[in-house]
Amino acid sequence: MNQAYSSPRRRHSPAKGITALIFGILYAAFLLLHDLLPTRMGIALILESVLPWTGIFLALVLLMFVIRFSWLSAIGFLVPALVWTGMFGPALLPNEDSGDPDLTVATHNVGARMPQPTAAAQNIVDRDPDIVTIQELESLSGKIIHKELDSSFEHSQVVDTIGVWSKWPMSEPEEVDLGLQWPRAFATTISTDHGDIRFYAVHMPSVRPGHESMRNAALRRLATTVETDGAEHVVVAGDFNTATTDNNMETLVPPLEDTREAARGGFGFTWPSQFPVTRLDHVLYRGFDATSDEVLERGSSDHRAVLAGLDLK
């Protein structure tokens, strides 16, 4: 008597995809709790500076999901994908053209060694901004840029290595105490066609992993100064040497707003200029609506310039 044999059914392990689930949940937790990262050896500084780029881990979880297709691996992918999208997705939405802004503000760290300073200055002048702030003017290239901007703007104020050029008159500069031995920020009142605005030009101390305490202290001092400024319309622009995703920026944003976050259109990375991976240069504001935020094409500095449009409320 012949006995029929049937192939055994493949058993689906309930733990199938558990690796993807664990990895995905851990990555989502990292995104949500990155403020708790240790500052030792610059761990927080490095990871928070490139936080949007950690989305590459989503590709790894997606690969696990494809290989180990199961409801566990699906959850492992969807949870961090939703968290990442909630944190960074709005920045990727397209900017809506709001027409000509009330004023445009440009900021650029021109670097200590710029091989084409005249072209760099002209690149900004060609965009016809109303207000320009430049950092690192102490070098020979900075002095050339200084001269080029003087010929294009009627009004200017320079304190040490920082300068502001404007189409409108400005008050005498008031140095902002950042707790440093040399000036790295000053404020001035600019009498625009739309009323007075308080303008802060800043250049935060440089940082390297494990040595960011001086910059953090300077950020807190700046935040206190701006918070106690009673002006209705305030702009704070320059090189902050910190990314928007750095939790130390929370001393400034909020209460101030960031033109890139408001105007959207991408992450707007500015450094290093050859292949930007983070945004160190910002235009922050109070009493305005941001209409645009554009990162200019690569020049010969290690930073890219930012051009932002603002409408008075």
This model's pTM is above 0.85: yes
Residues 83 and 107 reside in one and the same domain: no
- Same domain for 274 and 138: yes
252 domain-assigned: yes
123 and 35 housed in the same domain = no
Residue 112 has what pLDDT?
66
Q: Is residue 283 part of a domain?
A: yes
Does residue 50 lie within any of the structural domains?
yes
The mean predicted confidence, pLDDT, of the chain is 90
CATH number of the domain bearing residue 156: 3.60.10.10
Is residue 14's pLDDT more than 70?
A: no
Final residue of a domain: which of 68, 92, 116?
A: 92
Calpha distance 41→215 (Å, rounded): 15
Let me know whether 143 and 270 are in one domain. yes
Q: Are residues 204 and 182 in the same domain?
A: yes
Same domain? For 109 and 83 the reply is: no
Can you tell me the mean pLDDT for 240-269? 93
Contact assessment for residue 308 and residue 259, using Cβ atoms and an 8 Å cutoff: yes
Give the residue among 147, 103, 92, 139 at the shortest CA–CA distance from 309: 103
Look at residue 119 in the predicted model and tell me its pLDDT: 84
Look at residues 92, 111, 127 and tell me which one is the last residue of a structural domain.
92
For 287-305, b/e burial (b = at least 16 CB within 10 A) is bbbbbbbbbbebbbbbbbb
Tell whether 275 is covered by a domain: yes
CB neighbour list of residue 201: distance below 8 Å, 6 or more residues apart: 133, 135, 159, 162, 163, 164, 185, 186, 187, 188, 237, 238
241 and 283 inside one domain: yes
> 63-77, 211-225, 250-264, 286-300: which has the minimum mean pLDDT?
63-77
In order of 66, 69, 107, 164, the CA distances from 12 in angstroms are 16, 11, 59, 67
- List pLDDT tens digits, range 169-190: 999 999 999 999 889 999 999 9
Residue 204 lies in a domain: yes
Q: Domain boundary residue among 92, 115, 143?
A: 92
**How confident is the model over 193-249, as pLDDT tens digits?**
999 999 999 999 988 887 889 999 999 999 999 999 999 999 999 999 999 899 999
Kindly state whether residues 72 and 199 are assigned to the same domain.
Answer: no
Q: Give a yes or no: residue 10 inside a domain.
A: no
User: In the chain, which residue ranges form alpha helices assigned H by DSSP?
Assistant: 18-32, 43-49, 56-67, 71-88, 117-125, 140-150, 213-227, 259-263
111 plus 26 within the same structural domain: no
Query: Is residue 98 domain-resident?
Result: no
pLDDT at position 298 over 90: no
- C-alpha pair distances (Å), 217 with each of 203, 232, 243, 279: 13, 25, 16, 20
Alpha helices in 16-116 (DSSP H): 18-32, 43-49, 56-67, 71-88
**Domain for residue 8, yes or no?**
no
Residues 84 and 128 occupy one common structural domain: no
Number of domains in the chain: 2
pLDDT in tens, 112-135: 666 778 888 898 999 999 999 999
Burial tier of 275 (Cβ tally within 10 Å: 0-12, 13-18, 19+): exposed
Q: What is the mean pLDDT of residues 50-77?
A: 89
The full length of the chain comes to: 313
33: DSSP letter: T
Residues 75 and 148 reside in one and the same domain: no
Question: What pLDDT is attached to residue 13?
Answer: 53
Could you list the residue range(s) of the whole structural domain that residue 72 is in? 18-92
Residues 6+ apart with CB under 8 A from 103: 130, 131, 192, 194, 197, 309, 310
What pLDDT score does 6 carry? 43
C-alpha to C-alpha distance for 91 and 58, rounded to whole angstroms: 18
Weakest mean pLDDT among 41-50, 128-137, 270-279: 41-50
Please report which confidence band the pLDDT of residue 7 belongs to, taking 50, 70 and 90 as the band edges.
Answer: very low
* Model confidence band, residue 10 (pLDDT cutoffs 50, 70, 90): very low
- Residue 137: other Cβ atoms inside 10 A: 20
Question: Would you place residue 143 in the very low, low, confident or very high pLDDT band (cuts 50, 70, 90)?
Answer: confident
Q: Do 83 and 130 fall into the same domain?
A: no
Residue from 189, 278, 267 nearest 241 by CA:
278
Residue among 286, 295, 281 at smallest CA distance from 111: 281
Q: Is the pLDDT of residue 4 over 50?
A: no
Of 312, 298, 265, whose CA–CA distance to 92 is shortest? Answer: 265
